[in-house]
Amino acid sequence: MSYYMYVAVQDDNKISVFTIDPETGGLTLQTDVPVSGGPFTMAISPDRRFLYVGCREVTQLVSFEIDQANGGLTQNGSVALEAWPVYVATDRAGKFVLSAYYQGARVGVHPIGADGSVGGAPVEWLETATGAHAMQTDPTNAYAFVPHIAGNGPNSIWQFRFDENTGNITPNSPATVAPEEFLGPRHFCFHPALDVLYFSNEQGCSVSAYNLDTASGTLALFQTLTTLPPEGFSERNTCSQIQVSASGRFLYAPNRGHNSIACFTVDTATGELSSNGIVPSEPIPNALCLDLQDKFLYSAGQDSGQMAIFGVNEDSGELTRIATHPLGNRPGWISITELSG
C-alpha cells in the first residue's frame, strides 16, 4: 500500500499530488493537475476511487477518477454552481456530494453517477443562512449537520435527517442548536469510537464538544476550550479546520492569526478534551490533515505557500516540527488516502 496526498492550490489553479514516505513523513511530488477556477475544497470517496473538488473563482464541482496505481487524477465530470462551495464531502455510502455555501447561504446535495462522476442537477439546493461552512453525515448516514459561523452567520448548527437512498434532507427537531456564547461553529469531525462531535469555532477561537443522540440525531454541547494561550492574544484570530486522530486520543485545531496549532488530548471514555500545548505553524494555517497512521500532521500556510510537517508523539500526541515543503500560492485543502498501487 502507498500513501498519497492531494493539495488544492487555489491561486495556481492546480491540485498537487504527492507520495508520503511512511517512515519520515516526507513528500515527493508526483504531478500537478491543472484545475481551472481556483480549486479550494476537496473530498475523497469512501472507496478511495474518486476525488471531488469545489472551485472558488469559477463556481463548480469537479470530479476526478483516482488512478489506483500511481494516484494520478483524470477528470470525469463537472457541474456548474450558483455560488462557490466552501466545503464538500461525500455521504458515507459515496452516492452523493454534500456541499456548503458561505455566501450562498445554503447547502447542496448532488448525485454521483455510477462512474463516480458529478454532472447532474442537485437533488437538494436548500437555503439555510449566510455563513454555512461545512456539511457532513454522521457514521450511520442518517443525519447531517451544517455549522454556521457567527457575525456573518447565525452562530448555530443546522440539524437534518438524511435519506441515503434519495439524498434528500429534512429539518430535524429541533432544526438548529445554538451555543449561548459567541462561538461561530465552522468545521467539525466525529470521534472514531464515541457518539461525540468536535467543532472548531471561528470567532470564539475555541473547540467545542457535542454529544450526539443517535436515536434522534440531535446534538448537545458539553464542553468548550480555547485554542489560544492562557495569557491571551489581542490580535485578530480565527479557527479553521479540525481533526481527531484515528486512535481517538488526540485532536488538533489551527489558529489563523496567532499562526499556531492547538493540541488537545481526548478522554477515550467520555470524549472530554484537555489542552495539550500550542505549536507555531506557517502563517494562516487554513488546511490541516493527519496522515493515516497518526504519525504525522500536515499544515499548509495560506500566506506562506509552505507545508509544515510535524511528527506526532504516539504516547503524548505532542507535535514536533520536522520539515517544511513548498506548495504554491494559497494552498487551501489537504486530503490524504491509501492506495493499493
CA neighbor of 122 nearest in space, from 140, 104, 143 = 104
Give DSSP secondary structure letters for 175-191: EEE--SSS--EEEEEE-
Which helix (H) or strand (E) is 29 found in, with range?
Answer: strand 27-34
Distance CA 105, CA 128 (A): 6
The average pLDDT across 264-280 equals 98
Per-residue pLDDT at 190: 98
Is 113's pLDDT higher than 80?
yes
> Is residue 234 left, alpha or beta, with left meaning phi > 0 and alpha meaning psi from -120 to 50?
alpha
Q: Tens digits of per-residue pLDDT, 188-224?
A: 999 999 999 999 999 999 999 999 999 999 999 999 9
Nearest to 329 by CA among 63, 43, 16: 16
Mean pLDDT, residues 233-252 taken together:
95
pLDDT tens-digit readout, 258-270: 999 999 999 999 9
User: Which band of pLDDT confidence, cut at 50, 70 and 90, is reported for residue 232?
Assistant: confident
pLDDT at 233 over 80: no
Cβ neighbours, 10 Å, residue 213: 12
pLDDT for 273 equals 98
- Which pLDDT belongs to residue 1? 83
Cα–Cα–Cα angle for 210, 214, 219, nearest 5°?
A: 25
Round the average pLDDT of the chain to a whole number and report it.
Answer: 97
Report the pLDDT value the prediction gives residue 328, as an integer from 0 to 100.
Answer: 97
Query: What is the pLDDT, as a whole number, of residue 234?
Result: 85
- Whether the CA torsion 153, 334, 50, 59 is positive or negative: it is positive
Instruction: Please say if the pLDDT value at position 231 is more than 90.
Output: no
Alpha-carbon distances of 177 from 129, 162, 223, rounded to whole Å:
14, 17, 14
Specify the pLDDT at position 59.
97
Report the pLDDT value the prediction gives residue 130, as an integer from 0 to 100.
98
- Residue 116 pLDDT > 90: yes
Answer yes or no: are the C-beta atoms of 319 and 335 closer than 8 Å: no
Q: Provide the pLDDT for residue 82.
A: 96
Residue-wise pLDDT tens digits, 34-67: 999 999 999 999 999 999 999 999 999 999 999 9
Phi, psi (rounded to 5 degrees) for 113: -70, 170
Q: pLDDT tens digits, residue range 165-174?
A: 999 999 999 9
Average pLDDT over residues 301-307: 97
Mean pLDDT of 5-34: 98
Q: Above 90 in pLDDT, residue 340?
A: no
Residue with the bigger pLDDT between 146 and 231: it is 146
